[in-house]
With several copies, the nearest count.
Chain A
Amino acid sequence: MSELDALYRELILDHSKHPQHFGLTDEGDAPAVAGTIGTSHQKNPVCGDEITLRARVEGETIADVQWEGRGCSISQASASMLADLVAEEGLTRAEAVTLIEGFREALRSRGTLELDEEVYGDAAALSGVSKFSARVKCAMLAWVALEDAIAKA
């Protein structure tokens, strides 16, 4: 079962069971704190996975990401890992866009590209997903939501 284990790394199962930054505080579109807010709702029509992600942007920097959703362990872990990454790195919009592009490229690489742990943190564990073309959408869901949310913020 080595292929399967490469997909479901311990780290992925951990994040999916203990999702980070989960839950949307009820602040609507008018943030109590500084910055502008963008919210994105994404859905995978095949399996019904859904994610709502909210990004708060202060100037050019993404200050905060929250999300809520349901779905398979890959989609939930990916959202959790992404939220962690943003929280830790204090990314600018431009950096986030580059990061998302790189993530998309790696996931579409059919197993030929690895995500760098230095850059992607825990999310680098999602590299194995790229060998499972049917699951790429699951892993991408949160990242597409972030892309959309910061565009709106």
Chain B
Amino acid sequence: MTSAPASPPTAAAVTALDVAAIAADFPILAEQVNGHRLAYLDSAATSQKPLVVLDAERDFLTHANAAVHRGAHTLAAEATELFEDARATVAAFVGAQPEQLVWTSGATMGLNLVAYSIGNAGLVRPGDEIVTTAIEHHANLIPWQELAARTGAVLRHIPARDDGTLDMDAAASLIGERTRIVAFTHVSNVLGIVNPVADLIALAQQVGAITVMDACQSAPHLPLDLPALGVDLAVFSGHKMLGPYGVGGLYGRTPVLESLPPFLTGGSMITTVTLDRAEYLPPPQRFEAGTQPVGPAIGLAAAVRYLDGVGLSNIHAHESMLAERMHAGLVDIPGIRLLGDAEGVERVGLWSFDVDGVHAHDAGQYLDALGIAVRVGHHCAAPLHTRYGVTASVRASAALYTSTDDVDRLIDAVAGIRPYFGV
């Protein structure tokens, strides 16, 4: 099974970003770190947040803060409207209806919600199979290991090829009659490759398996239309897409959300409660027990409005260009090995690499001394690193506010690492 070669956005369809103007909306990017202007290349871990996001939350807290869905008073009604408008805005950002968007505290929470809820529903039995991939973030791996352990199901992994792409032939033979769930990431947080998710969804649909997509690393970088994609469930994290910490989204196709029982229980998700039993509201409230992250949700709505204002196609084109520039600069530096160096695939602006003879931690420290913030370690994807024969790597990741200058500084600095450590 092969998918059509990915077509990177063409220059004609998009507008070049005014990165300087964008960066001005992010005060932290003007900070000096170790005597150098910060080159923040760790957006895949957490993005920086524009002032409009901070202001939206502060405005809410200083003018309209009150418990939502719970009071008749004016502030409570205002807060409820702002909160539900935020839901509609964030839902629309991924092409969905408001009632298809469940607030969570983040992607990890969203994936755990899905795994536990499917478990509580009794949809997975001994001998059933859960299929994930060999390149997942721990958040889309361990919850399935635990679900398998709780239910007696078997966990299987779609392998990755040496070039970082998923082995879709293997996927086609792994996904079969016994498969109940197929869970995969849209974009790996280590490889930066956009996976052939439509093909995975088609395979899963043939056998009636539930599809679960981790959209953490795609939501801030490419246009998403989740209903059009046909995925059953998908998660993303606010803090990785210019939004506040403490909020995330779970998208679900309506019949799938309706078929799932609650995960967390408590206030605001019930119809009737006696001392001995409770009845539950329909989605999305069924999955939203207790006080929701109202301020963060309103901040996240401001974040996706900001992203939409710049335009996701424009952002994707800009970041694809940065990915190419990074690749071109890094690939020829002696001793640098790029992970997932497949050609002709669609990518986000992210590369992880190994520096021969220098531990990732030391390499990162060297870059930090030059004001360049990267991430080092296994990036919560230990099995992927094992697959590529390393325990840790250096990762540089971009966002819409990343400039070609940031990338050029990175390339120059990486060239200095091995000489500095005398290897």
Contact = CB atoms under 8 A, between A and B. Distances in A.
Given A70-B391, A74-B361, A45 B71 contact: no
Contacts of A74: 361-362
Given A43-B271, A133-B80, A134-B72, A48 B365 contact: no
Contact of A73 (B70, B81, B385, B421): B421
A118 interface: no
Interface stretch (A1-9, A29-37, A58-66, A88-96): A1-9
Given A3-B369, A4-B365, A71-B361, A45 B76 contact: no
B310 interface: no
Counting chain B CB atoms within 10 Å of each CB, the highest count among A7, A46, A132, A134 belongs to A134
Contact of A45 (B80, B81, B271, B362): B271
A45 B281 contact: yes
B376 A8 contact: no
Interface string A35-73: 000000001011111000000000000000000001111
Nearest to B270: A45
A104 interface: no
Nearest to B84: A133
Interface in B346-374: 358-362, 365-366, 369
Contacts of A70: 391
A3 B34 CA distance: 9
A138 B377 CA distance: 13
Contacts of B271: 43, 45
B328 to A, nearest CB: 27
Q: B-side binding surface: helix, strand, loop or mixed?
A: mixed
Interface in A121-136: 132-135
A34 to B, nearest CB: 34
A72 B382 CA distance: 17
Contacts of A1: 369
Nearest to B358: A73
B360 to A, nearest CB: 7
Given A43-B271, A43-B272, A135 B377 contact: no
Nearest to B391: A48
Contact of A46 (B70, B365, B420): B70
A46 B377 contact: yes
A99 interface: no
Nearest to A7: B365
A144 interface: no
Nearest to A70: B391
B344 interface: no
A85 interface: no
B391 A135 contact: no
B134 interface: no
A8 B363 CA distance: 12
A47 B359 CA distance: 10
Contacts of A46: 69-70, 377
Given A48-B392, A71-B361, A138-B361, A133 B77 contact: yes
A97 interface: no
Most buried by A among B272, B358, B361, B422: B361
A49 B362 CA distance: 12
A13 interface: yes
A4 B70 CA distance: 20
A8 B369 CA distance: 12
A3 B281 CA distance: 32
Contacts of A138: 361
Nearest to A2: B369
A47 B270 contact: no
Contacts of B378: 47-48
A70 B392 CA distance: 11
A138 B362 CA distance: 11
Given A46-B69, A134-B80, 6 more contacts: A8-B421, A43-B271, A45-B272, A48-B382, A48-B385, A72-B362
Interface of B: 34, 69-73, 76-77, 80-81, 270-272, 281, 358-362, 365-366, 369, 376-378, 382, 385, 391-392, 420-422
Which 6 residue pairs across A and B have the least CB separation, nearest first?
A72-B361, A48-B391, A72-B359, A4-B369, A134-B77, A47-B377
14 contacts: A8-B365, A8-B420, A45-B270, A45-B271, A45-B281, A46-B70, A46-B377, A48-B391, A71-B359, A72-B359, A134-B71, A134-B73, A135-B72, A135-B361
